[in-house]
Chain A
Amino acid sequence: MISAIFEYQFMQNAFIASILASIVCGIIGVIVVEKKLVMMSGGIAHTAYGGVGLGYLLGFEPIIGAFLFSVSAALGIGAIKRRGGVQSDVIIGLFWSLGMALGIVFIALMPGYPPDLNSYLFGNILSVTKADLYLMIILSFLVVFIVIALFNDWKAYLFDEEFASIIGIKTVFLEYLLLVLVAMTVVVLIRVAGIILVLALLTAPSAMASIFSKRLKSRMIFAVIFGVIFCISGLWISYKLNIASGACIVILSVVCYFFTYAIRIVHIKMKRKNIASKQIVGEEESEV
């Protein structure tokens, strides 16, 4: 694979795309998991399908359409949720299926033979184009910059929104900004994992990081590292076996997560046993 990276442009693109995807999904993934926005992210991602369809119908880059649709979905869901009166998972569900339905309608309206949308649904990192890559670079840079620049405000907001608003931090602005960041992240991830599989990339690295670290910043760093490992090895497997990259990366991430989880459970159980047996020995000795 290493020689292929130097040889083929598409492999270079795929490699850069995986690194970018790992960075944003590590950082935003930790926030999404902590703020319990996993389903929200799913909704935003699936709404993007409508944008992809519109792009094909009107003849512009589908990824731009995906970007516009996910950002509008993020703002729309955020606005309705803030207004109250409706449960947020209801709105998420509605946006989720509306986006998909619009995508199907737009594609059906297209004259001629329908395009293959699989690479948007399931991700095909090997088909990343230069235009995709430029958009991904810009979005990743924005996401990382915004999170780092406001890190302390984010921390206060994520931990306790009420207190943050009492001391005058602009929590409403942060709420919308966070949803837009999620939308941007989703767009970066679409080419790598696909609309349907995005959730795994957002959750698996950060969930795994939460096993290894109890601090927000180091959790993000761990999540980025895990993301890089999953994406690059997934890419390698998909290149060798000629299977869609999204599926490989997702299966790898999820399997790794459950594996780590199982090891941790066993580890904790053994520790408990050790402590218990020590206590028993201690009691016996004291009886003697």
Chain B
Amino acid sequence: METAIHIDNLSVYYGETAAIKNICLDVKQGEFLGIIGPNGGGKSTLLKAILGLIPITTGNIQIYEKTIGKNRTAVGYVPQFATMDRRFPISVMEVVLTGRLKQGLSLFMKYSNEDKDIANEQLKRVGIDHLAKRQISELSGGEFQRLLIARALTVHPKLLLLDEPTASVDMNSREQIYHLLRELNKEITIVLVTHDLLAISSEVKKLACLNGKLVYHGEPLLNEHIVNELYGCPVDLIAHGVPHRVLKEHEEGIAK
């Protein structure tokens, strides 16, 4: 099977402090990888390194056997924190359309009807097509989050990286987003960073646990040892009703 992401011995330092250290990770085409870990565990850093947004200190990363610079159109990205100015004068449709821009610079470029159809289709997919004409300043946080997903999909990526896409959406929309991701995963590879352990149990096919280093990588089954190393407090997790598929150790304890 084709390798979507190949990470070899990756370390990223911010100044003197290491955010992630010696990560080796392969993601196969068609995989649905969930990444969990504590705050500051380096999850966002890993995604940004994959995207080439921050310089990597050592190691190397390949996307479909090329460097990211040569394979930009293959990757879609939904950031954790919207860094942009929410008051910027731009409409929902215009934001989604930016995903259709060509690489480099294009002189006197106009969006074709095909571009607009594609943009509309993606807005429909995330369920905000009725807001297409709105200014982004008039969106709620969750609607904005879904807009960012639609924008990433407009690129038609083979690989989609999402950094906590469900952090600020309501339960219905969250369900809708996971449903969408499941659909998308039939064709594209997905890497999902989340604190939503419920999602990990039911959605992802593979799991990676990140706490500076890669604590675990494999089937979405966690034992107490890993959780302990990851968060230092396994009991808390169980108290929050994490389903048994995640916490293998406790499977016997819960009636099936």
Whether chain B is bound by chain A comes out as yes
Tell me whether A156 is interfacial, beta carbon within 8 Å. Answer: yes
Complex-state Cα separation, A148 to B111, whole angstroms? 14
Contacts of A150 in B (CB 8 A): 105-107
Q: Name the segment of B88-96, B178-186, B198-206, B233-241 touching the other chain.
A: B88-96
A113 interface hit (Cβ, 8 Å): no
What is the bound-complex CA distance between A174 and B106, given in angstroms?
12
Q: Does B139 contact A (CB under 8 A)?
A: no
A147 and B183 CA atoms in complex are apart in Å by 40
Chain B min CB distance to A255 (Å): 25
- How many residues on B have C-beta within 8 angstroms of the other chain's C-beta atoms? 35
Residue in A160, A169, A170, A215 whose beta carbon sits within 8 Å of that of B91 in the complex: A215
Please report the C-alpha to C-alpha distance between residue A62 and residue B254 in the assembled complex, in whole angstroms: 83
Interface residues of B in 17-39 (CB under 8 A from A): none
Quote the shortest CB–CB distance from A124 to chain B (angstroms). Answer: 35
Q: Is B85 an interface residue (CB 8 A)?
A: yes
**B135 CB, min distance to chain A CBs, angstroms:** 5
Taking CB atoms, residues of chain B closer than 8 Å to A149 are 107-108
Q: Which of B79-99 contact A (CB under 8 A)?
A: 79, 83-85, 88-91, 94-95, 97-99
Tell me the complex Cα distance, A92–B89, Å.
Answer: 27
Supposing A152-B111, A156-B101 touch, asked if A163 and B88 sit within 8 A by C-beta, the answer is no
* Interface of chain B: mostly helix, strand, loop or mixed: loop
B113 at the interface (CB under 8 A from A): no
Asked whether B73 lies within 8 Å of A167 as measured between CB atoms, the reply is yes
Please pick, from A156, A160, A166, A210, the residue contacting B89 in the complex, using a CB distance under 8 A. Answer: A210
Measured as residues with beta carbon below 8 angstroms from the partner, the interface class of chain A is: 20 to 34
Chain B residues, CB < 8 A from A102: none
Count A/B pairs, Cβ under 8 Å.
83
Which residues in chain A, 177-222, are within 8 Å of chain B measured between CB atoms? 210, 213-216, 219
Of all chain B residues, which has the CB nearest A150? B105
Q: Contact: A170 with B94, CB < 8 Å?
A: no
Contact A166–B98 (Cβ < 8 Å): no
Task: Determine which of A148, A155, A169, A210 lies in contact with B104 in the assembled complex, contact meaning CB atoms within 8 Å.
Answer: A169
Q: Looking across the interface, which residue of chain B has its beta carbon closest to that of A168? A: B103
Instruction: List the interface of chain B (C-beta within 8 A of A).
Output: 51-53, 72-73, 75, 77, 79, 83-85, 88-91, 94-95, 97-99, 101-111, 135, 137, 151, 155
Those 10 A-B pairs whose CB atoms lie nearest each other, nearest first: A168-B103, A156-B98, A168-B72, A160-B84, A149-B107, A214-B135, A216-B89, A152-B109, A159-B88, A214-B89
30 sample A-B contacts, Cβ–Cβ < 8 Å, listed by A number: A149-B107, A149-B108, A150-B107, A152-B101, A152-B110, A153-B106, A155-B90, A155-B94, A156-B101, A158-B88, A159-B84, A159-B90, A160-B98, A162-B53, A162-B83, A163-B151, A164-B98, A164-B101, A166-B75, A167-B72, A167-B73, A167-B101, A169-B103, A169-B105, A170-B104, A170-B105, A214-B89, A215-B89, A215-B90, A216-B89
